[in-house]
Structure 1
Amino acid sequence: MTRTLDTLGKALRHNMLVVATCRDCERQARFLARDLAAFYGQGRDPHSLKFRCTACDRHNCKITLMESPYDRTPETVVWRPVKVKL
């Protein structure tokens, strides 16, 4: 029986990447579940996170989880969440 990864803590235990894909321009950003769990908390649902596309400045993003590639290629860019003061 399989279980769904419905929290960042569960994705963290499986060393997953959280991929945010803009539905308008198809731009992708990848985040480590470990970094997002430290920033938002381990009980947070990854599909409830709000991301903003830097290319088209919209909040229309699709969230998916994927396994972390062990043989990381130069094309794999992993972003880190930061808090911005305005």
Structure 2
Amino acid sequence: MAGPMDSVGRAAKSNMLLIVECGHCYHVGRFRANDVAQVVGWNKPLEAIRFRCKRCSRKDTTVRTQFIDQDRPLKGYIWTLQKFKV
């Protein structure tokens, strides 16, 4: 067991997904915790991350974690961090 996930870094070390759900339109997005940690910082608490909904542009979101099962393919899309060339 990985223990309580209180920061993005701890979820990234456990190879988890962050499931973000909009409280207004219930749109769901899935992000790899490692990608999110690279953007917001490794010590950022999960409650402090503010996502903006892609559909309704509100910031009323909840974040929960989910283990990635290596034996089963994931359903749905996972948004990944894009590397830009300079």
- Length-normalised TM-score, structure 1: 0.81
Equivalent positions of 1:40-59 (< 5 A) are: 40-59=40-59
Unaligned runs of 5+ in 1: none
Report the AA paired with residue 58 of structure 1: R
| Aligned-residue identity in percent | 26
Q: Over aligned residues, Cα RMSD in angstroms?
A: 2.0
Could you list the structure 1 runs, at least 4 aligned residues long, displaced by more than 2 angstroms after superposition: none
Aligned residues: 81
**2:15 maps to 1:15:** yes
1:23-67, Cα deviation, whole Å (9 max, x unpaired): 111110010001011111111112211111111111110111111
- Length-normalised TM-score, structure 2: 0.81
Unaligned runs of 5+ in 2: none
Cα distance between partner residues in 1 of 2:69 and 2:3: 21
Q: CA deviation at 1:76?
A: 2.1
- SS of 2:56's partner is coil
